[in-house]
Chain A
Amino acid sequence: MKYFEDIQVGEIFAIGRHTFTADEIKAFAARFDPQPFHMDEAAAQESHFGALCASGWHTAVTWMRLMVAYRRRTAEEAHARGEPVARVGPALGFRELKWLKPVYVGDTVDYQSEVVAARPSESRPGFGLMSVRASGVNQNGEPVLSFISTAFVERRPEQP
């Protein structure tokens, strides 16, 4: 990640895409969200969803997984150029999470993060707080997920 000072509101990180398979949808649901429409094709067909679909938590944590992988890739690229990499602290939480459409078996979701706010941290002087709008769009161009996440990003250290 770039230093807090170098982050521009409006900047978009295209972090990657993921195709949801029946096996992983069921495996995730069995651990965290064992409702019939995430576990069993026949039960899902009879539900208001009409077919097996991923837990909303599964579509949201997939954003996190891709975001961490994206940060790792960009950090390696920066190291290769001999540039420093800012530390990213924990997130404070998120808000306005919307599951806009079900994610069905075989759907491919393209994820991105858009910087919507950046402000210095009052409690952690070495860090700023970056808010991004996380979103996912399926292969038909339909938004399936949106939320705003706020996390600490390291500020550029003062020159000695």
Chain B
Amino acid sequence: MSTKLYWEDFQPGAVAVYGPRLVTREEIVAFAAEFDPQPMHLDETAASATMLGGLAASGWHTCCLLMRMLTDGFVLNSSSMGAPGVEEVRWLKPLRPGTRIRVRSTVLEMRASKSRPEMGLVKMQHEVLDEADAVLTTLTSTAMMGRRQPGAAP
């Protein structure tokens, strides 16, 4: 286990890649059956008649897989205090069964918290990539991170 990450350890422009992770047909259908039971996520024949042109994962499934990859990738080894939300998610291309996805995370912006000296904010863009590096989904979010030295100037 590497050294625990604090707010001070993030740098604007820094890029990290997590994965790969194989996404199977079984898990696509299981997630959809539970949370997003639309034909385009459940059944090849029905899906081929939709705008997606074939079976594809629920966009929410992609977000949840991204969360898991980030959690394993760095969140559990950090002073993360969660996130107040997500600025934007774009589902650009369908995630097909059998794809090995990776996540490319770029630090966009850092700022100290005015109200909470023990905390800093890290704005990141996460891109879900397929084997050919095509961007399937982008997610922009600001994480709250604990500071190694509360209140000190960044």
Contacts and interface: CB of A to CB of B under 8 A. Distances in A.
Interface of A: 31-35, 48, 55-57, 60-62, 64-65, 68, 87-99, 124, 147, 152
A97 B76 contact: no
Interface stretch (B10-18, B31-39, B98-106, B120-128): B31-39
Given A90-B40, A96-B85, 4 more contacts: A32-B64, A62-B35, A65-B36, A99-B84
A48 B91 contact: no
Contact of B71 (A35, A65, A147, A152): A35
Nearest to B75: A35
Contacts, number: 90
Interface of B: 34-38, 40, 50-52, 58-60, 63-65, 67-68, 71, 75-76, 80-91, 137
Contacts of A95: 87-89
30 contacts: A32-B64, A32-B65, A32-B68, A34-B71, A35-B75, A35-B82, A48-B82, A55-B67, A56-B82, A56-B83, A56-B85, A57-B67, A60-B60, A64-B36, A65-B36, A90-B40, A90-B50, A90-B59, A93-B59, A93-B89, A94-B86, A95-B87, A95-B89, A96-B85, A96-B87, A96-B88, A97-B87, A97-B89, A99-B83, A124-B51
Contacts of B83: 56, 99
A91 B86 CA distance: 16
B85 to A, nearest CB: 4
B68 A33 contact: yes
Contact of A48 (B51, B76, B81): B81
Nearest to B56: A90
B123 to A, nearest CB: 14
A117 to B, nearest CB: 16
Nearest to B49: A87
